[in-house]
Chain A
Amino acid sequence: MQKPAPPDAADSVETVDVKALNTRVTGALYKKREKIFPRRVRGTFRSLKWSVMAVTLAIYYLTPWLRWDRGPGAPDQAILIDMPARRFYFFFIEIWPQEIYYITGILVIAALALFLFTSVAGRVWCGYTCPQTVWVDLFLIIERFIEGDRNARIRLENDRWTLSKISKRLAKHAIWLIIAAMTGGAWVFYFADAPTLLVDLFTLHADEIAYITVGVLTATTYALGGLAREQVCTYMCPWPRIQSAMIDEESLIISYQKQRGEPRGKGGQRDALGDCVNCNQCVVVCPMGIDIRDGMQLECISCALCVDACNGVMDKVGKPRGLIGYNTLANLDKGAELQRSQIRLLRPRTILYGVLIAVVAAIMLAALLTRPALELNVQRDRNPLFVKLSNGDIRNGYTVKILNKVHQIRHFRLTLDGLPDPEIKVIGRQDHAPLFAVNPDQLASFRVLISTAKANLLSETTDIRLRIIDRDSGVTAENETVFRGPGQ
Chain B
Amino acid sequence: MSDKQIDDVSGMETTGHEWDGIRELNSPLPRWWLWTYYATIIWAVAYWIAMPAWPLLSDYTRGLLGHSQRAQLSNQIAAVKAGQADLIARTAKASLTEIQADPELLEFALAGGRSAFAVNCSQCHGSGASGGKGYPNLNDDDWLWGGTVAQIHASIQYGIRADHDETRFNEMPAFGRDEILNPQQVDAVADYVMALSQNPGLADSLPGKPLFNDQCVACHGVGGKGDKELGAPNLSDAIWLHEGGKPVVVDIITNSRSGVMPAWVGRLDQVAIKQLAVYVHSLGGGK
Most buried by A among B13, B28, B29, B127: B28
Write out, one digit per residue, whether chain A residues 371-411 have a CB within 8 A of any chain B CB (1) or not (0).
Answer: 00000000001111001111110010100000000000000
Determine the distance from Cα of A305 to Cα of B135 in the docked complex, in whole angstroms: 84
Are A449 and B284 closer than 8 Å at their CB atoms? yes
* Residue A32, interface by CB 8 Å: yes
Are B130 and A30 closer than 8 Å at their CB atoms? no
Shortest CB-to-CB span from A382 to chain B, Å, is: 8
Shortest CB-to-CB span from A431 to chain B, Å, is: 15
Which A residues are in CB contact (< 8 Å) with B137? 384, 387-388
Write out, one digit per residue, whether chain B residues 160-178 have a CB within 8 A of any chain A CB (1) or not (0).
Answer: 0000000000000000000
Write out, one digit per residue, whether chain B residues 117-146 have a CB within 8 A of any chain A CB (1) or not (0).
Answer: 000000000111110000001011110000
Write out, one digit per residue, whether chain B residues 38-54 have a CB within 8 A of any chain A CB (1) or not (0).
Answer: 00000000000000000
Are A427 and B282 closer than 8 Å at their CB atoms? yes
Determine the distance from Cα of A300 to Cα of B190 in the docked complex, in whole angstroms: 96
Q: Name the CB-closest residue of A to B139.
A: A387
Are A24 and B11 closer than 8 Å at their CB atoms? yes
Are A26 and B13 closer than 8 Å at their CB atoms? yes
Are B239 and A390 closer than 8 Å at their CB atoms? yes
Are A391 and B30 closer than 8 Å at their CB atoms? no
Determine the distance from Cα of A30 to Cα of B15 in the docked complex, in whole angstroms: 11
Determine the distance from Cα of A235 to Cα of B126 in the docked complex, in whole angstroms: 60
Which B residues are in CB contact (< 8 Å) with A388? 137, 140, 238-239
Shortest CB-to-CB span from B139 to chain A, Å, is: 4
Which B residues are in CB contact (< 8 Å) with A235? 30, 33
Which A residues are in CB contact (< 8 Å) with B140? 387-390, 395
Which A residues are in CB contact (< 8 Å) with B141? 389-390
Write out, one digit per residue, whether chain B residues 227-266 have a CB within 8 A of any chain A CB (1) or not (0).
Answer: 0000000100111000000000000000000000000000
User: Which residue of A29, A389, A397 contacts B238 across the interface (Cβ within 8 Å)?
Assistant: A389
Determine the distance from Cα of A235 to Cα of B35 in the docked complex, in whole angstroms: 14
Are B234 and A383 closer than 8 Å at their CB atoms? no
* Residue B56, interface by CB 8 Å: no
* Residue A474, interface by CB 8 Å: no
Which B residues are in CB contact (< 8 Å) with A85? none
Are A31 and B29 closer than 8 Å at their CB atoms? yes
Determine the distance from Cα of A467 to Cα of B209 in the docked complex, in whole angstroms: 49
* Residue A442, interface by CB 8 Å: no
User: Which residue of A31, A390, A397, A427 contacts B30 across the interface (Cβ within 8 Å)?
Assistant: A31
Are A381 and B32 closer than 8 Å at their CB atoms? no
* Residues B60-118 near A (CB distance < 8 A): 106
Decide yes or no: A33 and B284 within 8 Å by CB, A381-B128, A383-B128, A390-B142 being known contacts. no
Which A residues are in CB contact (< 8 Å) with B32? 33, 231
Having A29-B29, A388-B239, A390-B140, one finds 12 other A-B pairs with CB under 8 Å, namely A33-B31, A231-B30, A231-B32, A384-B126, A384-B137, A387-B137, A387-B284, A388-B140, A388-B238, A389-B140, A392-B238, A427-B282
Q: Could you list which residues of chain A lie within 8 angstroms of chain B, going by C-beta atoms?
A: 24-33, 231, 235, 381-384, 387-392, 395, 397, 427-428, 447, 449
Q: Can you list 23 A-B contacts (CB < 8 A)?
A: A25-B13, A29-B26, A30-B34, A31-B30, A31-B31, A32-B31, A33-B30, A231-B30, A381-B128, A383-B128, A383-B130, A384-B126, A384-B137, A384-B139, A387-B139, A387-B285, A388-B239, A390-B140, A390-B237, A391-B237, A395-B139, A395-B140, A397-B139
| A-B CB proximity, top 5 nearest | A383-B128, A384-B130, A31-B28, A390-B237, A392-B238
Q: Could you list which residues of chain B lie within 8 angstroms of chain A, going by C-beta atoms?
A: 4, 11-13, 15, 26, 28-34, 106, 126-130, 137, 139-142, 234, 237-239, 282, 284-285
